[in-house]
Amino acid sequence: MIRKDIKALAAYHVPDSSGLIKLDAMENPFPLPDDLREAWVKELAQVEINRYPDADMRELREQIAEQEGLKPEQVLLGNGSDEIIQMLLLANDPGVCVTPAPTFVMYDLISRWLNRSVASIPLAKDFSLDADQFLQVCAREKAVVAFLACPNNPTGNLWPQETIEKITKGFRGLVVIDEAYAPFAERTHTHLIAPNVMVLRTFSKLGWAGLRLGYVLGDADVIADLNKVRMPYNINSLTQASARFFLKHSDVFKKQARDICFERNRMTASLMALQGIEVFPSQANFILMRVQDADGVFQALKERGILIKNMHAQGGLLSQCLRVTVGSKDENNAVLAALREIMS
């Protein structure tokens, strides 16, 4: 029957957002431009839906590799980067997984599914990461894999390059640099790729969350091994066709990412001007803030038709914290107006 520890878990909860301004999941707020939508639908109409998808996805991997300046053999695709985290934890040597805390919850959750223990290293109050402490815990735990979300979710900060490099050089296990928020950050880390260093990406935050497509970049031999635990046909034909099409129009999404960064900076400054809110600087498409009563503010926003993410229940550094996704200008103005009212 079902394992006891699985029974004790709660299923991943996605709150109902119907009728609300949805700013809880770091989605891109912009709908597809009409001309692009029409051309995309024409592409999709060509898909032979009676056939299995292209299992090798050579063309799509070539497009991504070209964009990254790497070889197609260095690219592996997943049904969202969540699926790749699962593949990485499945294929890696048995042993401890190390993560900073707080960070993206799926590293911990998937480790538990796979009976792998997790050691977490608390971030400092300003969410900085102590590389020496990180390496000490890796050594003490004889860890085999570490995840570094750069920028980190839910804190939004990007640890300095020296911190990341110190960890990649000092740890013999696999270091996964998760760059889910790369489109909004000042720096990426593909230059650090090595047999024990991989870079994880997703298209979800760039504007295609509904497609479920992520990829990992790494050493070609490691990618070939990881490919052995990939479900056959894990990327469906419609996603493949859509991604091939959208990659040819990546300028549209890059421009949207720039607009989101502009709005993020405007939001950060406006939130900082409000009484009773501590705002943390972000290099992602969301902003973390701390208030006196996170549950109360969360509820008051919801009553005004705005759904954000309440992080308070996670405790520790996230006590009284709320995370808001950067939306369109109108959505952000609605958040600011509501907060002005709530905080006054």
Site for ligand PLP, rule CB under 6 A: 26, 80-82, 104, 149, 153, 178, 180, 202, 204, 214
Compute the least distance from the CB of residue 311 to ligand PLP, in Å.
13
Compute the least distance from the CB of residue 65 to ligand PLP, in Å.
18
Nearer to ligand PLP, 217 or 338 (CB): 217
Nearer to ligand PLP, 86 or 268 (CB): 86
Of residues 189, 191, 105, 104, the one with CA closest to residue 149: 104
Nearer to ligand PLP, 42 or 187 (CB): 187
Looking only at the bridges linking them, the beta strands covering 214-217 and 197-202 are antiparallel
HEC sequence for 150-162: CCCCCCCCCCCHH
Tell me the C-alpha distance between 96 and 84, whole Å.
Answer: 18
Tell me the C-alpha distance between 308 and 334, whole Å.
Answer: 12
Compute the least distance from the CB of residue 245 to ligand PLP, in Å.
19
Give the Cβ contact number of residue 333 at 10 Å.
15
Compute the least distance from the CB of residue 108 to ligand PLP, in Å.
12
276 in Cβ contact with 300 (< 8 Å): no
Tell me the C-alpha distance between 179 and 77, whole Å.
Answer: 15
- The encoded tokens of residue 169 equal 């050089």
Compute the least distance from the CB of residue 252 to ligand PLP, in Å.
20
Tokens 């969410």 belong to which residue?
127
27 in Cβ contact with 331 (< 8 Å): no
Nearer to ligand PLP, 290 or 309 (CB): 309
Of residues 61, 107, 109, the one with CA closest to residue 88: 107
Compute the least distance from the CB of residue 235 to ligand PLP, in Å.
12
Across the chain, where does the E strand assignment appear? 21-22, 75-78, 97-101, 118-122, 145-149, 174-178, 197-202, 214-217, 278-279, 286-290, 306-307, 309-310, 321-325
Nearer to ligand PLP, 80 or 207 (CB): 80
Nearer to ligand PLP, 178 or 263 (CB): 178
Q: Map residue 313 onto helix, strand or coil.
A: helix
Compute the least distance from the CB of residue 163 to ligand PLP, in Å.
17
Nearer to ligand PLP, 104 or 134 (CB): 104
